Structures are given as C-alpha cells and as structure tokens.
Amino acid sequence: MTDTIIIGAGLSGLTVAHILKRRCYGHRFLLLEKESTTGGAIRTHTQDGFLAEAGPHGFLDNCKESTEILSETGLDNDCIKAPLGRFVRYIYLRGKLEQIPQTPPAVLQTSLITWKDKFRVLGDFWKKPLAGEPTMAAWVAYRFGPALLPFIDAALTGTYAGDMEKLAADGVMPGIRELEKKHGSVIRGLIAKKRTSTEERRPSLPAMTSFRQGMQTLSDRLVAFMQPELELLTGCRVESIKKVDSGWEVISDKGLFSAANLVLALPINSSLALLKDIDTTMPATTIPEGKIATVALGFDKEVTLPPGFGYLIPDNENRYTLGTLFSSNMFPGRSPGGCSLIEVLIGGRRHPERLTCDDNALIDHALCDTRDILHINRPPVFSKILRHDNGIPQPEQGYPELLAWRNRLTAEHQGLFVCGFGWDGIGINDMIKTARRVAEAVMAGNRDQERESPIKKVYF
C-alpha cells in the first residue's frame, strides 16, 4: 500500500514522480514501467561519433513549466538552443526548397503565396464557423483558402506525421476552434484574446532546445532522483486496474499493488486498454497512430548542407520521405570531425506500408530523395535506421469526445488521473504541463480539473 501509483515511466510519469518527490515531502509513490528502460518515446542513439534521435528532437523554450523542470534538475546548464528566428526552415514545393516564413510580416512579403490568396485569408472575417468536426484540410480551405493547404500539410506532417484529410480541426486546434465559434471568426477571436491576455509577450521567436548528449538526458536525469525498486519498478507489466474502497488496486506480473491515487501516465491507447474495465461507456477503444522510421545519414566534410533546420514535404509532391532534419546544423556535437548528419523521416499516417521495408531499402529511398532535393551525390559514411514501437496518436474524428469522456471519468472517480502521450498533446511541453497539473491535483487531494483549451502557435 502506498499513496500514489504511477503507471508509465515516459516523460509524463517521470514528471509526476519528480514533482511529488520534490514538493510533497513524505508522499509515497511507486512508478511502474513495463520496459526495462525509461523515457517512453524519448530515445537517443549514439554511434561512431554521430548522435540521432529515435523520438522527439527537442522542445521550444516558451513553456514555464518545462523551464522550471530544467532548473530543478540542473539541466538548464546543459541546454543547447537553436533560435527559430535565426534558423531557416524549408518546404519542398513545386520541386524545390523554399524558405518558410515564420512571422506575419514575412508571410506578407513571401512570393510563395499570391496577393490574391493573401487577401483571401481575410475572408475569415465573413465565414460562419463550420459545424461538426471538419478535417484540418476542409477547415483551412474554408476559412483561409486552399492556397494554404501545402503549408498546413507540411506543418501537420512535421508535428503528427499526420494526414490533414483525416486530422480533426477540433482535435488539433481546440482553442482556435473555440475562439472561432465564440467570435464568429478566428482572426477576430485572436484579436480579442490578445487584448485580454495577461501572459507575458515574448519579444522574439522561441528557440528549439535540446541537450549536449541528446534528449534522453532529460529522462535519465529525472530517473536519477528516484530509488530503484522502492520508487521505480521497471520490467513490470500492468495487467489490470480496479477501483476498491481504499482507492485503487493494480494487478501486474510482479504482484498486486494498492494506493489511494492512481495516475495513468501512458500513451492514449495503452491507457484505454486499462480503462475499458472501469467504464463501459468508453466512446472508442483505440485511436489511429502515425508511425515513422528515422533514417540517420552521416556524410563526410565534403558535403555542405543548406543553412537551417531542414525541410518538410507536402504529400502532393509525391516524394517517398516526409522531410529531413539538418541535425548537425541544429545542435553542435551531433557529428564528428566536420561531418554532416541528416535525419530523414519515412512513413506516417498516410504511408504505413513503407515501414515494412527492410533497413537497406529505407536507406536507399532516403538517399534517392536527398540526392534529388539536396544534390548530395556522395555515399554516406554512417547510416542507421531508428524504429519505434509506438506511433504518434492522431486526433482525428471522435477525439474531442474521447477527451470529454476522460474528463468525466476522472471527475467521477476520486483518486484517478489520466495523462500521457496523446491525451493533451504530443509535445515535450504538452507532457510536462499536463503532468505538473496532475501532480498538483494529487498533492492537493483534488480531482483533476478540466482546463481551457490552449491557443498554440504554429511553428514549422
């Protein structure tokens, strides 16, 4: 018997455990993880002087909750940053790389969008809100015009590895949809939000942030503060959960555990598999995922990459790959001795069949695209395929209903908290913000409270 059981030692579970340990003296918790390793989707691969990421490559430095975690763990001194204002990002459009504008003035000046299509964006003022759950493609075309679809496609590819013809606007941008419905226009709603906002306004674009030894530094540091076996138990597969008079019981292949509080800090589909026995009104037992493979390619110092972060490819360009990150440009120390490292992304929601290819075939496909797009004709001096078992949860039709069901479930069951990959976003900052909210509710003995949907800015 303990105070709190946390299931899942990905970033969400590790953050909840960290906050309980640091801020609630005497609170007993046990973190259960089915794998022998921790960190969930965060996984850094190092080999022959090259450093690549199988999961997230970084996070923006515009989230105070993440900043606090870095300060508390001492990782604020280990950060490396790539400011969006100084690093170019590209879209592969009409057969060539084009720089993506990141600020409103740059959007007005770009020749990628005609003046007619720029003025069409203002049609948002007179468009009534779309009813139901429109897809991102239908919603953007209706409100702002079809000329923006390649850019939205690229943004959603870079974020979700998703399909804009399937992703629901209410799932991807719930805060924006609420403003649209309340004010009758997205632009009008954003203006009203800005006038009443008390948030500190940043003077410039945020920076992409990582660590000298890769993203796994974050999860490893959080684990370092925990006592093995007493606070953290790996290799423990949870089979079922049960509500009892004293709180919650967790049945696992290593025995039965009891606690007053239960935090499910799992990817959304893993959570649903355990919650199905708690509430039979569950609107869905799974949601779609977008799986990707990363092809890490290292080249000798004769190869020079374009400046910037990398590029994204809209699906209508009919390339095999989703995009490419210029990893050695973004962060120093990703490649040895003047070499270059790129990480090519393949698969996603639209093309899961491509992940059935063997490693050599994926490398060949990645090299074919980089030869055409980046004009790299030299063979790589390093290559590695990084595959991940878990995919990226896709907020498609029915996702808002699932969130509402989760909120009702946690409101009705004292001591139950549900967070993790896909529930309230998929980014590092999303995970940390929600985990902190859950940890604070546990410490206060409250139920998790439904919050206002955030307004997230779109960065490529």
pLDDT tens string 191-249: 988 888 766 666 578 899 999 999 999 999 999 999 999 999 999 999 999 999 989 99
Going 177 to 179 to 180 to 186, the CA torsion angle's sign is: negative
As given in the structure block, the two tokens for residue 89 are 């990002």
pLDDT tier, 414 (very low <50, low <70, confident <90, very high otherwise)? very high
Cβ–Cβ under 8 Å, residues 274 and 7 = yes
The verdict on 300 and 283 lying in the same domain is: no
For residue 181, is it within any domain?
A: yes
The verdict on 280 and 297 lying in the same domain is: no
- What percent of the chain shows pLDDT beyond 70? 94
Whether 14 has a pLDDT exceeding 90, the answer reads yes
- Per the structure, the complete domain to which residue 107 belongs is given by 103-196
For residue 422, is it within any domain?
A: yes
The verdict on 300 and 370 lying in the same domain is: yes
For residue 221, is it within any domain?
A: yes
Return the CATH number at 176.
1.10.3110.10
CB environment 409-426: b (16+ within 10 A), e (fewer): bbeebebbbbbbbbbbbb
For residue 52, is it within any domain?
A: no
Return the CATH number at 262.
3.50.50.60
Going 154 to 316 to 142 to 165, the CA torsion angle's sign is: negative
The verdict on 296 and 383 lying in the same domain is: yes
Whether 330 has a pLDDT exceeding 70, the answer reads yes
Using the 3D structure, point to which of 196, 224, 242 is the last residue of a domain. Answer: 196
The verdict on 383 and 414 lying in the same domain is: no
The verdict on 272 and 410 lying in the same domain is: yes
The verdict on 309 and 435 lying in the same domain is: no
Position of tokens 């943004």? 155
Burial tier of 292 (Cβ tally within 10 Å: 0-12, 13-18, 19+):
buried
- What percent of the chain shows pLDDT beyond 90? 81
For residue 24, is it within any domain?
A: yes
pLDDT tier, 318 (very low <50, low <70, confident <90, very high otherwise)? very high
Q: Cβ atoms within 10 A of the Cβ of 398, count?
A: 15
Torsion region of 333: left, alpha or beta (phi above 0 gives left; psi -120 to 50 gives alpha):
left
The verdict on 256 and 332 lying in the same domain is: no
295/291 Cα distance (integer angstroms): 13
Tell me the β-bridge partners of 35: none
The whole-number pLDDT of residue 240 equals 96
Tell me the β-bridge partners of 7: 32, 264
Distance of CA 382 to the CA centre of its chain: 27
Task: Map residue 288 onto helix, strand or coil.
Answer: coil
For residue 459, is it within any domain?
A: no
Cβ–Cβ under 8 Å, residues 175 and 458 = no
Cβ–Cβ under 8 Å, residues 249 and 242 = yes
Residue 336's contacts (CB-CB under 8 Å, 6 or more residues apart) are: 48, 49, 50
Return the CATH number at 71.
3.90.660.20
Cβ–Cβ under 8 Å, residues 367 and 296 = no
Q: What is the mean pLDDT of residues 81-106?
A: 85
pLDDT digits (tens, 9 = 90+) for 206-222: 899 999 999 999 999 99
Q: For residue 32, how many C-alpha atoms fall within 13 Å in the half-sphere facing its CB?
A: 27
Burial tier of 36 (Cβ tally within 10 Å: 0-12, 13-18, 19+):
exposed
Whether 109 has a pLDDT exceeding 80, the answer reads no
Cβ–Cβ under 8 Å, residues 366 and 278 = no
As given in the structure block, the two tokens for residue 350 are 């639209």
What is the domain count for the chain? 3
The verdict on 155 and 115 lying in the same domain is: yes
132/201 Cα distance (integer angstroms): 33
For residue 354, is it within any domain?
A: yes
Cβ–Cβ under 8 Å, residues 41 and 292 = no
Task: Map residue 152 onto helix, strand or coil.
Answer: helix
78/82 Cα distance (integer angstroms): 14
- The residue with greater pLDDT, 232 or 85, is 232
Q: Cβ atoms within 10 A of the Cβ of 147, count?
A: 17
User: What is the rounded (10 degree) CA torsion for 7, 12, 17, 23?
Assistant: -150
The verdict on 355 and 298 lying in the same domain is: yes
133/138 Cα distance (integer angstroms): 10
As given in the structure block, the two tokens for residue 148 are 């923006």
CB environment 180-209: b (16+ within 10 A), e (fewer): beebebbbebbeebeeeeeeeeeeebbbbb
For residue 452, is it within any domain?
A: no
The verdict on 299 and 275 lying in the same domain is: no
Whether 154 has a pLDDT exceeding 60, the answer reads yes
pLDDT tier, 25 (very low <50, low <70, confident <90, very high otherwise)? confident
Whether 117 has a pLDDT exceeding 80, the answer reads yes
Cβ–Cβ under 8 Å, residues 70 and 232 = no
214/39 Cα distance (integer angstroms): 12
Position of tokens 């990459």? 305
The whole-number pLDDT of residue 200 equals 63
State the average pLDDT for the chain. Answer: 92
The verdict on 273 and 410 lying in the same domain is: yes
Indicate the range of 49-53, 113-117, 201-205, 229-233 predicted with least confidence.
Answer: 201-205
The whole-number pLDDT of residue 204 equals 74
103/84 Cα distance (integer angstroms): 10
